[in-house]
Amino acid sequence: MDLELRHLKIVRAVAEAGSVTKAATQLGLAQPSLTAQLKRIERTLGGTLFERDRNGARPTPLGELVLTRARVLLPAVRELQEEAVRFANTYTGIPGVRIGATHGPILGGLVDRLTAAHPSAPVSTRTSWSARELTTLVGAGRLDFALIGTCGESPPPSMESMTWTVVGTDPVFALLSESHPLAGEKDLDLAVLADESWAIAPGDGCFTDCFAGACARAGFVPKNVYESDVATCLHLVQVGKAVALCQATFQLTAGLVMMPLTGAPLQWRHLLGWHVDSFAGRAASTVADHARAAHGHAVERSTRYVEWLARNPHFGAVP
């Protein structure tokens, strides 16, 4: 006999009622019938689940193990059933979407567009500095899409059955304090920043190596690097203790100036990935279109980027 959900319900009912007789009444079964079913369940699981005496039924160690699993599985199955019913009653062409993203300018606009265009499809998000972590979560079915970035033409994290599409490509600009002596320039050669300290947010891609390579081609090695969270990096730039690198779509806050780098020695590709066999993958083209629209809007909001694109029409913001 294979174990079924109804068997777990019987075990749970006996444990909660404290006796087979009371459980039979609650389940609407005859006591002999429930006793016979319980014995078949015990044979299937390889041992006695309850110690029974005149005071009732108490779980054995094996019974406790089975109950622990049942208390997880039964609510999960009920939630799955309820979610399936809701989905069947509200499906409008796009399922609920769970998006994981590294920090960037697109996620907020993507959520805005998805919820406006598909109000009955729930959207949830998760952020991480690790593109590899988000890709793993998509592969495990815990996320539907990963919105990440890669340096230049570097590939995304490798995982079987993942499909990736390019959302947009941006140059990387320098971020300076508005009181910095170079803040008034139109653009900067990377070499003029050779004596600066740098503030960099963590990541598990190759950007740090690409940055080091760009610096080497410009003739210097960064003398000091502060790796920290985004807020701390911005603070260090604001108070003049460091400069930073940012995507050209970065939305400036008080005290900061964004400076294009001559020749765009560093570039950033925004990628959307999903598992090729996932149900959510059926909506990938729709989600990708919304992501590209969100990226386009982020470009339009960056005055310095728009000005730079006018001087560099060969670059383009959309693949």
Give the pLDDT of residue 89: 54
Confidence of residue 319 (pLDDT cuts 50, 70, 90): very low
Question: Are residues 176 and 38 part of one domain?
Answer: no
Asked whether residue 249 falls in the same domain as residue 271, the answer is yes
Which CB contacts under 8 angstroms, 24+ apart, belong to 208-217?
210/151, 210/152, 210/154, 210/266, 211/245, 211/266, 214/190, 214/265, 214/266, 215/190, 217/265
The CATH number of residue 19's host domain is 1.10.10.10
Same domain? For 84 and 108 the reply is no
Within this chain, do residues 174 and 285 fall inside the same structural domain, yes or no? yes
Last residue of a domain, one of 90, 114, 132: 90
Write the DSSP string, 177-221: ETTSTTTTSS-B-GGGGTT-EEEE---SSSHHHHHHHHHHHTT--
Q: Which amino acid is at 312?
A: N
Query: In terms of domains, do 86 and 100 share one?
Result: no
Average pLDDT value for residue range 20-45: 91
In terms of Cα–Cα distance, which of 47, 34, 28, 26 is closest to 7? 34
Q: What is the CATH number of the domain that holds 275?
A: 3.40.190.290
pLDDT at 105: 84
Provide the pLDDT confidence category of residue 18 given band limits of 50, 70 and 90. very high
Q: Indicate if 79 and 222 belong to the same structural domain.
A: no
Show which of 90, 121, 156 is a domain's final residue: 90
Same domain, 85 and 100: no
pLDDT tens-digit series, residues 185-224? 989 999 999 999 999 988 887 888 899 999 999 999 998 9
Q: Are residues 172 and 284 in the same domain?
A: yes
Last residue of a domain, one of 67, 90, 113: 90
Which pLDDT tens digit goes with each residue over 19-28?
Answer: 999 998 998 9
Domain ranges, residue 44: 5-90
Cβ atoms of 98 and 144 within 8 Å: the answer is yes
Least Cα distance to 200 among 168, 222, 178 occurs for 222
Let me know: does 272 contact 145? Beta carbons within 8 Å: yes
Split into its structural domains, the chain has a count of 2
Q: Is there a single domain that holds both residue 61 and residue 45?
A: yes
Beta bridge pairs of residue 138? none
Residues 193 and 252 in one domain: yes
Q: Are residues 225 and 316 in the same domain?
A: yes
Please report which confidence band the pLDDT of residue 118 belongs to, taking 50, 70 and 90 as the band edges: confident
Mapped onto helix, strand or coil, the DSSP state of residue 131 is helix
Same-domain status, 55 and 180: no
